[in-house]
Structure 1
C-alpha cells in the first residue's frame, strides 16, 4: 500500500450537478464515479463497452465507497447513466457529445479519464497513432464539443464548472514530436505514451489560457498524476515487448496504489473548494506541483493546439469561434 497517499478532503455534496467521466467502467474512473455518485451527483459514464458500463453502473449503486460513513456520503445518492464513447473514433466522439448535449440539461464537470498505456503500434479509426489518438485527440475533440454545454451550464449556475484531464508523471519523459506525431518514421510504445500524457498537460495549460483570453470565466481546467496504480491500464505490460517496463513496475509494487487511492487527486480537482480558485495547473497527491519544462512551454502548447484542431477537423483554432460553430453546426 502506498504510504504517502493523500485523500481528497472536500466534504462537498453534489446534488443537482451533472458529471461526465470517460472510461468510467473500470479502474480509477469507476472509483471516481462511485465517490461522486454517493455525493449526490448525476454521473454519466462515457464508455466504449456498454455492457461493462451498465455492469459498472449497477455496482456503483450497490457498493458504497470503503468509508461510507463520511460526511459527504451521508444523504441520498445521485443517478448513474451510461453513454457509448469510443475515443478511437472521431465519429463516436461526435455522436456521444451530441447525445450528452441534447439529453443532459447541464454538464458541470467533465473528467477526461480514459486512456491506454504502452500498447503495440496501431492506429485509430481515423488513422492516428493509437495512444495519441485515444489519450489526447479523442479527449481534445470531446472537450471542444461539450464546451458550449459547459459554458451554458456555468452561466446558469452559481458553481465553478471544471474540466479535469487525467495525465501521468510519465509526461516528464515525453516530448511532442511535431515532425513525427503519429510515429510513422519510428515507433516506440513508451515514447508514444509519454508524448500523449505530455499532450494532456499542454492541452490543460493552453485551454486555461484561451478561456481567460476570451473572457470565458467560471470554467477551470486541471491536469494530474493519479499515482502508480494497479489497474487494467497496464494490460499490455504482460506482452514480451515490455519486459523492462514490467521489471520497473515489479520494483514499485510495494508502493502501488489501489484504485480508490488513485482516484483521490481526480476527486480533489473535481470538487475541492480551494481548487475552485485555481486553473491550468498540474496536480499530484491532491496539490499543485510543477510539471516538466516541456509541459510549461507555451509555444509548444499553442502549436499542439493548432495541430490538434487540424487533425480532428474543427472549423477554427480560435476558441470563441469553435464554441460558436460547434453550437450552430457540429451538434445539430
Structure 2
C-alpha cells in the first residue's frame, strides 16, 4: 500500500500520525524483532532507529560511514533510557552495488531472520555525478541500491514471515517520469526531476514487488513522510539573504525527524496493516495514476536487474 494523502491511518492522513496510547500499545509488537534501517545515522532514519530501540527491537543500522554511525549510536543510547533493545552497525553504501552485495552476504550468514526492512536512505537534488557502477547518483542510491538490497534479502524475509518491507518515498514522485532510454540522464539532467524520477521508481518497485510477494507472508508498503527538517536538502541552493527567513520558516512549519519517523514506525508495528499490501492510497487527477502503469512497473524491473 502507498500511504499518501488519504489512508487507513487513525488520523486519516499520512502527514499527521499522532503518538497516541494506541500506537504505544502497538510498539510492544516490536520487542525482539530484527529490523534493518538504511540511512539510520541521521534524520528520519536515526529517529526511526531510536524509536525501534526504545521498543526493545534489534536494529541493524545500515550506514555508509562508520564514524557517523557510531556517533549516532551513542546519541540514541543516551536518550533511550535503561530499557532498550540492541543497535548493530553494518556498513552499506547504496551507491555501490558491490557494497550492497557484501552487506547482504553478511546478513544472510549472520542473521537467522529479518522481520522488517525499512528502505529509508536517500539523497536529494545532487549535482550530476555517477555512482561507481556508472549510474546517475540519485537513481543509484534512491532506487537501484535498495532494489538490489531488497531482492537479495527476499529469501530471508520469506523465511521470517510474517515480515514487512517499508519504503520511504516522497510525494514528489508525481513529478517524475520514467524514460527507460535515458535513465542515466545523459541527454539532459535536472536534479529536481532526477529526484522525482527516483521516487517514482521506488513506488513502481513497491507495487511490482507487492504483487510478486502475494501469498508469501511478506507485505510491501510505501510512505511519504512529508516535509521534515533533515540534512537531505544540503545540495539545494538557498540565496544568502533568504536563508535566515527559510530557516525560521522550516523550524515553524517543517516536521521534526521524530515526527517524520512516525509513519515508518506505524507501518512497522501496527496490526492495522498486518497482511495489507499492493494498493495505492491516493488518486491524483493531475497525472495518470501509477496503479495503471503496469508497463512501467515491468520495465523498471527489467532495467533495474
Q: Which residue of structure 2 lines up, in the alignment, with residue 95 of structure 1? A: 102
Offset at residue 220 of structure 1 (A): 0.4
For residues 63 and 288 of structure 2, the distance between their equivalents in structure 1, rounded to whole angstroms, comes to: 33
Q: Which residue of structure 1 lines up, in the alignment, with residue 295 of structure 2? A: 299
SS in 1 for 2:89: strand
> Would you say the 8 A contact 2:229–2:250 is kept in 1?
no
Distance 1:250 1:199, change over 3 A: farther
Task: Tell which has more relative contact order, 1 or 2 (C-alpha 8 A, sep 6+).
Answer: 2
For residues 252 and 303 of structure 1, the distance between their equivalents in structure 2, rounded to whole angstroms, comes to: 38
Q: Which residue of structure 1 lines up, in the alignment, with residue 212 of structure 2? A: 210
Offset at residue 306 of structure 1 (A): 1.2
Corresponding residue to 1:148 among 138, 155, 163: 155
For residues 167 and 94 of structure 2, the distance between their equivalents in structure 1, rounded to whole angstroms, comes to: 14
Q: Does residue 1:264 correspond to 2:262, yes or no? A: yes
Gaps of 5+ in 1: 69-74, 155-159, 283-287, 310-332
> Would you say the 8 A contact 1:37–1:78 is kept in 2?
yes
Q: Which residue of structure 1 lines up, in the alignment, with residue 91 of structure 2? A: 84
Corresponding residue to 1:164 among 160, 163, 166: 166
> Would you say the 8 A contact 2:217–2:275 is kept in 1?
no
Q: Does residue 1:197 correspond to 2:193, yes or no? A: no
SS in 1 for 2:178: coil
> Would you say the 8 A contact 1:237–1:245 is kept in 2?
no
For residues 36 and 76 of structure 2, the distance between their equivalents in structure 1, rounded to whole angstroms, comes to: 15
> Would you say the 8 A contact 1:18–1:109 is kept in 2?
yes
For residues 305 and 247 of structure 1, the distance between their equivalents in structure 2, rounded to whole angstroms, comes to: 43
Gaps of 5+ in 2: 1-14
Question: Which deviations, in whole Å up to 9, do the C-alpha atoms of 1:109-132 show, x marking residues without a partner?
Answer: 000000000000000010000000
Q: Which residue of structure 2 lines up, in the alignment, with residue 235 of structure 1? A: 234
For residues 248 and 300 of structure 1, the distance between their equivalents in structure 2, rounded to whole angstroms, comes to: 37
Root-mean-square deviation (Å): 2.5
Corresponding residue to 1:35 among 41, 51, 56: 51
Q: Which residue of structure 1 lines up, in the alignment, with residue 60 of structure 2? A: 44
Distance 1:249 1:118, change over 3 A: farther
> Would you say the 8 A contact 1:135–1:197 is kept in 2?
yes
Offset at residue 281 of structure 1 (A): 4.0
For residues 218 and 298 of structure 2, the distance between their equivalents in structure 1, rounded to whole angstroms, comes to: 19
Aligned residues: 283
